[in-house]
Amino acid sequence: MTTAETKDANGNFSTGFKSFHWAAGVLVLLMLYSGFTLSRETATWHFGTGIVVLVLMVGWLAIRGRQSRPPLPADMPRWQTITARATHHSLYLLVTLQPIFGLMMVTTSDREPVAFGFIPLKIAENGVINEIGHVGHMINAYLLTALVLLHIAGALEHHFIRRDNVLRRMLPFGKA
């Protein structure tokens, strides 16, 4: 197995794939929480972490587009398979769009935003782009929250109701 593969010979997700999934998951949850509770003190970290998420997602999408995933259980109803795929693709899209909308806001702000307390983000004040970014960022945050909850509910449904290996094969030390 090469380091770029998403699965091993037994159909388990690779360590790298699992690491990215959990790192992205934690970052997305932290970003959603910090975004909904944003203050002047936390904004600089929120902005900086958003940039990190964008860089990770661009790299992830470049790698993910060339690889297959372990298959879903063969006995899954077709509607669940379609929902699972649509949810994953939508998560990729929305997690990538969220920091783009955020950058549209902060780089065109009438303030002087900084990332991590020292990286200046303002490019040029532009009220129209700022408003588009603001509305997009807000709507996307709610959609992203709903999809994250759906994703978690699906994983728990696989584990506790279907009792299959879908969640286990994604856990850090889990095996299918």
For 108-125, what is each residue's pLDDT tens digit? 999 999 999 999 999 999
SS3 112: coil
Q: Is the Cα torsion angle 120, 121, 124, 125 positive or negative in sign?
A: negative
Supply the pTM of this predicted model: 0.90
Q: Give the strand pairing for 114-115 and 119-120.
A: antiparallel
What is the residue type of 107? Answer: T
Residue with token string 């999809």:
147
Residue with token string 């380091």:
3
Among 25-39, 52-66, 96-110, 122-136, the least confident range:
52-66
Extents of the domains making up the chain: 15-170
Give the whole-angstrom CA distance, residue 65 versus residue 63: 6
When pLDDT is cut at 50, 70 and 90, the band that residue 83 belongs to is very high
Give the whole-angstrom CA distance, residue 47 versus residue 55: 13
Q: What is the largest CA-CA distance in the chain?
A: 55
Element (H, E) at 162: none
Question: Which residues contact residue 126 at a Cβ distance below 8 angstroms, ignoring those fewer than 6 apart?
Answer: 108
For 50-63, what is each residue's pLDDT tens digit? 999 999 999 888 88
CATH architecture of 15-170: Up-down Bundle (1.20)
Give the whole-angstrom CA distance, residue 57 versus residue 92: 8
